[in-house]
Amino acid sequence: MRNNIIFEIIVFLSNIVQCVTGFAGTVLAMPFSVITVGYGVAKPILNVLGIAASVGVVASAYRSINKKEFLKIVCVMLAGIIAGMYLVTFFAGSEALLYKLLGGVVIAFALINGYQFLRKKESKDMNGVWSFLLLAVAGVVHGMFVCGGPLLVTYASVKLKDTNEFRATLSAVWIVLNTVILFGDVRAGYFTGNVIILLAVSLAVLAAAVIIGNIISKRLSKNVFLCLTYVLMLISGVSLFLK
């Protein structure tokens, strides 16, 4: 019971972040949730909550979706996700090492982008090869651990400058990609009776987090939003080392 309560607190706080930014909720929640309730419980629930939270964002900001970038991201990351869902079966027992590797990459990106922000320098555009590679790797990581958000943000922060466009487009991406992962989790047998009950409670907690998150997002200036995004990336990277 105690672990379940701690898990719901994690769900509440991380989904406020998810609602505001459109990307960081699962990455912040996953390491602590795995420690609290285990991978087999945390992964399917956080994945479903990611879908639900993203639906809330898209429902209020669907006109801001950048359709061209949405299609590009989904197509490239989907291939990576399929590969990641397949590869995870070969890395059973080595997840901690992969989390630490991802954490290092995320921290590096957060520091670089944060430095550019503080120096008031615009992020340079990416060439085609680098952008496709980054999205593919984000897909693989997301397929394995539902934690591809920070890598996608590195791409999106360059391509999507408007705050509403950024949030709406990334949230639409998560709806599609997390649904693919959902089907895989169902096939893997993750949704036991206990998991379904905990998921139902988590959805109620999510509803409260979305309300608060929407209020916060409407009060943030563009500069505050960018600063928050880079800080959350850094926190995400550090949190992965705690797994």
Q: How do residues 223-243 score in pLDDT, each as one tens digit?
A: 776 677 778 778 877 877 876
The pLDDT value recorded for residue 81 is 94
Long-range contacts of 32-37 (CB under 8 A, 24+ apart): 32/239, 32/242, 33/7, 34/243, 35/242, 35/243, 36/3, 36/6, 36/7, 36/10, 37/3, 37/4, 37/7, 37/198
Contact 69, 160 (CB under 8 A): yes
pLDDT 10s digits, 194-203: 999 999 999 9
> Picking from 65-69, 131-135, 161-165, 201-205, which range would have the lowest pLDDT averaged per residue?
161-165
pLDDT for the residue numbered 120: 67
Query: Are 65 and 172 contacting, i.e. CB atoms less than 8 angstroms apart?
Result: yes
| pLDDT at 122 exceeding the cut of 70 | no
The one-letter code for the residue type at 57 is V
